[in-house]
Amino acid sequence: MKSRICELLEIEYPIFQGAMARISDASLASAVSEAGGLGIIAGGTAPVDYVRTEVRKAKELTKKPFGVNIMLLSENADEIAKMVCEEGVKVVTTGAGAPGKYMEMWKSHGIKVIPVVPSVAIAKRMVRSGADAVIAEGTESGGHVGELTTMVLVPQVVDAVEVPVIAAGGIADGRGIAAAFMLGADAIQVGTRFLSAHECTVHQNYKQKVLNAKDIDTVVTGRPTGHPVRVLKNKLSRQFTELEAKAAPLEEFETLGIGALAKAVVEGDINYGSIMAGQIAAIVKKEQSCKEIITEMFAEAEQLLSKNWNR
């Protein structure tokens, strides 16, 4: 299942590993790239030196291309934006904002720029400012989400732009890949399923919570802040929901959110930590290597797409 994205980025399989703040490090990204996909290191809100070290580690672990995601709400975004140029990173994806002000610098370093977009208008704007492709991310995703579902967002973005479109949100098996291709996508981005990868260094309690998840176990919290985040339900998400119900001041949301992701990812606190995961968590049932995940997903997709659909 080659597509123009494979040629553009010199990868074997048209799959990106979604950047997950505090989780997607050199270990996960290099394993995905080694397996033929595009591994992506998450900048998140981390200090630039931490991200630079992960980039250097990934360069040791794989000679294949990998990317860095820049979370544009981060105070360190400017520094990470420069660092990727210095380190010769080949691909940058962006999230939670518009990367226009970095575009010229990245282009002059030969970096392929692929922003995440939650709507057609933002997709068109990103392409006008020089994006090489866009990731159309549906609200099924984990973490910071938009409003539209993958099913409605992807075909509309495909119709609106000429550049390749990567579908994200709710994709964790070959059925999801096949569906995304039917919607016109050139590639897919997968986050949640990679949480269960052997090479994913997230705390085992976080992994187990994903493996135990049922269909209705995620919830979007923090809408009043303007940065809604999808997480697995727990004591912390219930506290957020209570704040929303009583229309608490925004400072109370901020206080509750501080350090919550690290609590889950590093300490394994599944009660009061923020366990970001997508709605598709429920179909993630086993721990596997990145290579097994990718080859299994594409074998399934290829079988589906070659099926005789006359019923």
Beta carbon nearer to ligand TUI, 18 or 164? 18
Other C-beta atoms closer than 10 Å to the C-beta of 119 total: 16
**Nearest-CB residue to ligand TUI?**
143
Is residue 270 a contact point for ligand TUI (CB under 6 A)? no
Our finding on whether 21 is near ligand TUI (CB under 6 A) is yes
- Separation CA 186–CA 81 (nearest Å): 26
Examine residue 137 and tell whether it contacts ligand TUI (CB under 6 A): yes
The single-letter DSSP state of residue 286 is -
For ligand TUI, which stretch binds (CB under 6 A), given 27-35, 112-120, 147-155, 182-190?
112-120
With contacts defined by CB under 6 A, name the span among 90-98, 154-162, 193-201, 243-251 that binds ligand TUI.
90-98
Query: Looking at 67, 95, 164, 273, which residue binds ligand TUI (CB under 6 A)?
Result: 95
263: phi then psi, degrees, rounded to nearest 5 = -60, -40
Among 37, 146, 170, 174, binds ligand TUI (CB under 6 A): 146
Q: Which is nearer to ligand TUI, 243 or 301 (CB)?
A: 243
Give the β-pairing of 187-190 and 165-168.
Answer: parallel
Count residues near ligand TUI (CB under 6 A): 20
Residue range at the interface with ligand TUI (CB under 6 A); choices 5-13, 50-58, 76-84, 143-151: 143-151
Looking at beta carbons only, is 36 or 99 nearer to ligand TUI?
Answer: 99
Contact 121, 96 (CB under 8 A): no
Among 175, 227, 233, 291, binds ligand TUI (CB under 6 A): 227
Regarding 122 and contact with ligand TUI (CB under 6 A), the answer is: yes
Least CB distance to ligand TUI at residue 198 (A): 23
For ligand TUI, which residue of 1, 98, 160, 266 counts as binding (CB under 6 A)? 98
For ligand TUI, the binding residue among 35, 71, 113, 114 (CB under 6 A) is: 71
What part of residues 161-220 is at the interface with ligand TUI (CB under 6 A)? none
By CB under 6 A, residue 77 contacts ligand TUI: no
118 binds ligand TUI (CB under 6 A): yes
Closest CA to 281 of 182, 201, 213: 213
State the Cα torsion 302-131-170-289 to the nearest 10°.
60
User: In Å, how far are 45, 81, 219, 266 from 270, measured between CA atoms?
Assistant: 21, 32, 15, 11
- How do the residues of the chain divide into helix, strand and coil, expressed in percent and rounded to 5? 45, 15, 40
DSSP code at position 240: H
- Beta 134-137 vs 187-190: how paired, if at all? unpaired
Residues 6 or more apart in contact with residue 150 via CB below 8 angstroms: 136, 137, 138, 139, 140, 167, 168, 169, 170, 171, 180, 183
Cα atoms in the 13 Å half-sphere on the side-chain side of 286: 7
Question: Would you tell me which residues interact with ligand TUI (CB under 6 A)?
Answer: 21, 44, 71, 73, 95-98, 116-118, 122, 137, 143-146, 227, 229, 276
